[in-house]
Chains A and B, each alone.
Chain A
Amino acid sequence: MALSKKKARWLMARKGFFDMLPLNLAVLPWGILCGSLAVQRDFSALEAILMPLIVFAGSAQLVAIELIANNASLATILFTTFIISSRHFLYGLALRDKLKVLPTKWRYGLGFLLTDELFALSSHSKSFVGQLRLIYAVVAGGSFYVFWLLWNVAGVIAGSYLPDLTHLGLDFAIAVTFIALVIPTVINLPILVTVIVAAILSVVFKLMAFELDLVAAALIAMYCGYLTDRFQHKHKRVDKPDDNDSLDETHNESSSDNVTSKKHSSLSVEDKL
Chain B
Amino acid sequence: MTLLTIVLMALITFTTRYLFIHPRLPVRLGAKMAKLLSFSAPAVLTAIWVPIIFVQQGELSVSLQNPYLISATLAVLTAAKTKSIYFTMFIGLITFVLSRYLLSV
Contacts and interface: CB of A to CB of B under 8 A. Distances in A.
Main SS of chain A's interface residues? helix
A265 interface: no
Nearest to B8: A78
Interface in B63-103: 67-68, 71-72, 75-76, 79-80, 83-86, 88-89, 92-93, 96, 100
Contacts of B18: 92, 107-108, 111-112, 114
A218 B44 contact: yes
B76 to A, nearest CB: 6
A85 B29 contact: no
Interface stretch (A3-11, A46-54, A147-155): A46-54
Contacts of B47: 198-199, 201-202, 213-214, 217-218, 221
A199 B59 CA distance: 16
B4 to A, nearest CB: 8
A176 interface: yes
Contact of A179 (B20, B37, B38, B79): B79
A54 B44 contact: no
Interface string A216-251: 011101110110010000000000000000011011
Interface size band for B: 35 or more
Interface residues of A, number: 94
A89 B37 contact: no
Contacts of A177: 85, 89
B68 A55 contact: no
Contacts of B93: 172-173, 176
A88 interface: yes
Main SS of chain B's interface residues? helix
Interface string B15-31: 01111111100010111
A97 B10 CA distance: 25
B41 A185 contact: yes
Nearest to A86: B16
A180 B29 contact: no
B6 A47 contact: yes
Contacts of A180: 75, 79, 84-85, 88-89, 92
A190 B39 contact: yes
Interface of A: 22, 26, 43-44, 46-47, 50-51, 54-57, 60, 64, 68, 74, 77-78, 81-82, 85-97, 99-101, 107-108, 110-112, 114-116, 119-120, 122-123, 169, 171-186, 190-191, 194-195, 197-199, 201-203, 206-207, 209, 213-214, 217-219, 221-223, 225-226, 229, 247-248, 250-251, 254
Interface of B: 2-3, 5-10, 12-14, 16-23, 27, 29-55, 58-60, 67-68, 71-72, 75-76, 79-80, 83-86, 88-89, 92-93, 96, 100
